[in-house]
Structure 1
Amino acid sequence: MHVTIPIASGKESTVIPITIFHGTQDGPTLGITAGVHGYEYPPIMAAQQLIEQINVDQLTGTIIIVQIANVPSFLQRSPFVNPIDGKNLNRVFPGDALGTMTEQIAEIITTQVIARSDFFLDIHGGDASEDLMPYAAYYDNAEQVSSSQQGKLMAIALGFDHVIRFNTNGKEYMEEDQPSLYCSAEAFKRNIPSVDIECGKLGKATPSLTHKIEQGVLNLLHHLQMLPDKLLSDSNQKTIHIDQRMFISSIHQGIFYPAKSAGAYVVEGMKLGYITDFFGQVLDTIYVDKPGIILLIIGTPPVNKGETLAVIGEIE
């Protein structure tokens, strides 16, 4: 079943396209969001492919797929933010029914998708400027042992080579009176086992990465016993777990010249790249402080002061 939820804000309007699969047997509900950032294309294209891949005659439970959460961002090819109000949808959860368009979108996803879910998956990729390596991630908190452990098993089941732990202990957004900000964090804050996929880079609709996401979702449905068992490859033995991430930010505005790509292993003291001013004068050379793997690195020349240049997954 396909539904389209209209949203109006002032003179502007948009919709949220949602597909709902009701299985022939009762079971859990899996909520899925794609297109929270409309320039991240492989998640959106994978959601399209899943319409044809999921057979409701074999399905136990319900799947709710938000096909494109941020339609204005998608249609106007706007990286990171909704061009109508300039807000990042993945920074306004749980949203506000009386707020701006982006806040209204978040509120509808929160109340109509997340709140109805027993498990939750948010699918992302590298936006227009982001060279990103594929990985799965899960939320973890010492006060939510069951949902944390279930989330870890879900992340592994997705079948990606690398699994990142989002450690929420001590995070301000987990406090009851604080907004969750992030889509999947809102789900986890409600004690719903929650995972992310990050797959895709530089705003490209790469077919192989679209297929990787599609297969990951099907793997997850088998793991949750929402689809019949199937023999999966023994890839879990190769899973690399990453507990800590290091964020490297720019202290300059200018032009960034990366020396490495996402997925590269780095050691302490290795050169990541350098920044020049608009006349080619070198302002800063960026080095790695700890060994690890590059999860994300800026892959296009523009860079702003305070912007994240790279994210390194620390490996023991």
Structure 2
Amino acid sequence: MRNNPITPTIDFDKDGIQHGFLRLPYSRNDSAWGAVMIPVTQFKNGDGPTALMTGGNHGDEYEGPIALYNFANRTDIESFHGRVIVVPAMNFPAFQAATRVSPVDQLNLNRIFPGRPDGSLSEVIADYFSRTLVPMADYVLDIHSGGKTLDFVPFAASHILDDKQQQAACEEAARAFGAPHYLQMLEIDAAGLYDTMVEEAGKVFVTTELGGGGTSSPYTVEIARRGVDNFLIHAGILNADPQMPKHDSVSLDMPDFRSFIFCEHAGLVEPCVALGDIVHEGDLVARIHSTERTSPELPAEYRAPRDGMVICRHVPSLIKIGDCLNVIAEVV
């Protein structure tokens, strides 16, 4: 198989703090011998576990980049035992453009793993993580939020895995992150996800959803910043005391696909419940009004398919057929 063209400007084997780039050659109209320069920071202090922490897998999600750009500015190398590789914005072209998918090749990075070394820009980035960075790691944290089209109650999550020992380790790490909610997460389609690739490599993996709407808040940023430290403390890499939320984390589960409500009408969303609300099966959660005409017969009503907590909502008030309207998780 062809070697990946990405070249790191740091030495992953060297102790200390290093700031540099993952340099990906990218010839284009405005730069014949140009490159995409993806920022990377490494903290390494002796032998110990390795953690890989990423944000910006989607370019319109900001809690991860904010927390990790802040983390990368640390100077207390004596607090570390092992190695931490920080990539605040792994999908750097999308992050710069504030878009979910890459403006270069229109690919969703989090749907094309393990990638290809001879593919398009996003496929090359995916391949570098799959074949170079993830194999170095014992613990992997990928920080997400809802981007411009979804909003979530803040949670850390793990998945059901065939290897129950690995599943338990992932759940422990997700709970240690210290978000207000912990979710055993069910994916609509796990094929091509970074999550799936990392878990199939046998790593301890944690993902999050920490808000959304294409922005951030002091509340969600603090959850991310605190969670990054807690994750590394749990991994035995950072010497500090964990900082947990004031209230116990609420445990949630998505036991089947009835947790998802997908829209079958296009129009104007009238929300009837809010994030964090407890609903019962059959409760009205939203009405969809046609924008083409007025009529008392036209609003389509959407009702809760199960008892649980509303953990996700569609953010733009205009919705299309096929969009995710709400997600409801069972409170464990």
Q: Secondary structure at the match of 2:183?
A: strand
- Alpha-carbon separation, structure 1, partners of 2:244 and 2:109: 36
Alpha-carbon contact 1:167-1:243 (below 8 Å) kept: yes
2:289 is aligned, of 261, 268, 276, to 276
Q: Deviations over 1:230-275 (max 9, x none)?
A: 2655868544242426111011233322222222221112221122
TM-score, L = length of structure 2? 0.84
Matched, 1:288 2:299: no
Shift of 1:93: 0.8
Matched, 1:76 2:97: yes
- Alpha-carbon separation, structure 2, partners of 1:120 and 1:215: 16
Q: Which runs of 5+ in 2 are unaligned?
A: 1-17, 30-34
The equivalent of 1:21 in structure 2 is 43
Q: Secondary structure at the match of 2:52?
A: strand
Q: Relative to structure 2, which stretch is displaced further, 305-314 or 270-279? A: 270-279
Matched, 1:64 2:77: no
Alpha-carbon contact 2:180-2:249 (below 8 Å) kept: yes
Shift in CA distance, 138/64, structure 1 to aligned 2, threshold 3 Å: same
Question: Percent identity among equivalent residues?
Answer: 25
Q: Name the Cα RMSD after superposition.
A: 2.3
Alpha-carbon contact 2:233-2:242 (below 8 Å) kept: no
Alpha-carbon contact 1:258-1:298 (below 8 Å) kept: no
The equivalent of 1:177 in structure 2 is none
Matched, 1:157 2:157: no
Shift of 1:276: 2.3
- Alpha-carbon separation, structure 2, partners of 1:127 and 1:94: 23
- Alpha-carbon separation, structure 1, partners of 2:19 and 2:240: 27
Shift in CA distance, 238/34, structure 1 to aligned 2, threshold 3 Å: closer
The equivalent of 1:308 in structure 2 is 324
Alpha-carbon contact 1:159-1:235 (below 8 Å) kept: no
- Alpha-carbon separation, structure 1, partners of 2:330 and 2:27: 46
Shift in CA distance, 236/211, structure 1 to aligned 2, threshold 3 Å: closer
1:191 is aligned, of 190, 202, 217, to 202
Q: Secondary structure at the match of 1:3?
A: strand
Shift of 1:62: 0.5
Shift of 1:140: 2.7
Shift of 1:119: 1.0
Q: Deviations over 1:17-72 (max 9, x none)?
A: 1111112x310001111000111011111111112346221101111111111122
- Alpha-carbon separation, structure 1, partners of 2:240 and 2:186: 31
Alpha-carbon contact 1:9-1:100 (below 8 Å) kept: no
Alpha-carbon contact 1:156-1:239 (below 8 Å) kept: no
Shift in CA distance, 279/122, structure 1 to aligned 2, threshold 3 Å: same
Q: For residues 125-164 of structure 1, what are the structure 2 equivalents within 5 Å?
A: 125-142=145-162, 144-164=163-183
Greater strand proportion:
1
Shift of 1:280: 4.9
The equivalent of 2:226 in structure 1 is 215
The equivalent of 1:123 in structure 2 is 143
Shift of 1:94: 0.8
Q: Secondary structure at the match of 1:26?
A: coil
Q: Which amino acid aligns with 1:196?
A: T
Shift of 1:311: 1.2
Q: Which amino acid aligns with 2:115?
A: G
Alpha-carbon contact 2:180-2:248 (below 8 Å) kept: no
Q: Which runs of 5+ in 1 are unaligned?
A: 174-179
Q: Deviations over 1:132-165 (max 9, x none)?
A: 11001013313x1222111111011011232111
Alpha-carbon contact 1:35-1:74 (below 8 Å) kept: yes
Matched, 1:297 2:313: yes
2:215 is aligned, of 187, 204, 215, to 204
The equivalent of 1:40 in structure 2 is 61
Shift of 1:284: 1.7
Total equivalences in the alignment: 305
- Alpha-carbon separation, structure 2, partners of 1:157 and 1:54: 24
Alpha-carbon contact 2:230-2:242 (below 8 Å) kept: no
- Alpha-carbon separation, structure 1, partners of 2:242 and 2:299: 54
Alpha-carbon contact 1:135-1:197 (below 8 Å) kept: yes
